[in-house]
Amino acid sequence: MTVPMDVSGLEKKLGSSFRDADLLTEALTHRSYLNEFPKWRLPHNERLEYLGDAVLELVVSEELFRRFPKQPEGQLTVLRAALVNYQILARVAERIGLQDFILMSRGERKDTGRAREVILANAIEAVIGALYLDQGLDSVRRFVGKQVMANLDDVLKTKSYKDAKSELQEIIQEKLRLTPTYDVLEESGPAHRRLFRMGVYFKGKLIASGEGPSKQEAEIAAAKNALAKYQEG
């Protein structure tokens, strides 16, 4: 079986020609594709997604650290979260036409709304992981600088970083002089339809929990519940 498309157009958008073409193809292989084509020669993209998520956070953290030398850690964390959330990443994926290259099942291809955005966001992270392995950190920096950091002005203008997590963090840092932390309490559902339950902690004490189809959304739900509990108290 061969890749049913020419990825040269995608490579141009990424700003790099892959030395190992299989890495890019693996990054474009959604788990559901293997259900329809179990003899496909490559694994699905979730390992690369894991790596890409970490590399993306590093590069964005580094860039924010450089651009905002006077901002405290908490504000940088909030800005980073706004730049790497699944909606922003899905927009990046659409901008470079990634949806035309992802290998997935016919059923998954029909998904719309949030489910589609999550698939696109995960694929972007996998592509970043592949780009890092194949081309190194400088290539990732160029891509992230052009495609992800380009959203920074809009994030600052619309204050889209002001979600429940950032609101909770600002209040708790001001009132209690500590930073809320989050941890996974439970994961359930099949791999392509995960449900996460995240807990929010103050100094190691569980304050509230929340659920969502991604860790980030579950964290936001937990933050909302913590805000409600804190305001009631």
The pLDDT of residue 133 is: 97
Dist CA 57 CA 43 (whole Å): 24
Q: Is 53 a catalytic residue?
A: yes
Architecture of the domain defined by 164-232: 2-Layer Sandwich (3.30)
Q: 8-158 maps to which CATH number? A: 1.10.1520.10
Please state the pTM of the whole predicted model: 0.72
Identify the pLDDT of residue 187: 93
Of 63, 108, 117, 125, which is the active-site residue? 125
As annotated, the residues of the chain forming the CATH 3.30.160.20 domain(s) are 164-232
Domain span(s) for CATH 1.10.1520.10 in the chain: 8-158
pLDDT in tens, the chain (233 residues): 344 457 888 998 888 899 999 999 999 999 999 989 999 999 999 999 999 999 999 999 999 999 999 998 878 888 898 899 888 999 999 999 999 999 998 888 877 777 888 899 999 999 999 999 999 999 999 999 999 999 999 888 877 666 788 788 888 888 888 999 999 999 988 776 788 999 999 999 999 999 988 888 899 889 989 988 876 65
Q: Which of 53, 134, 163, 217 is catalytic?
A: 53
| 125 among known catalytic residues | yes
Q: Which residues of 106-142 are buried (b: 16+ CB within 10 A; e: fewer)?
A: eebeebeeeebbbbbbbbbbbbbbbbbbbbeeebbbb
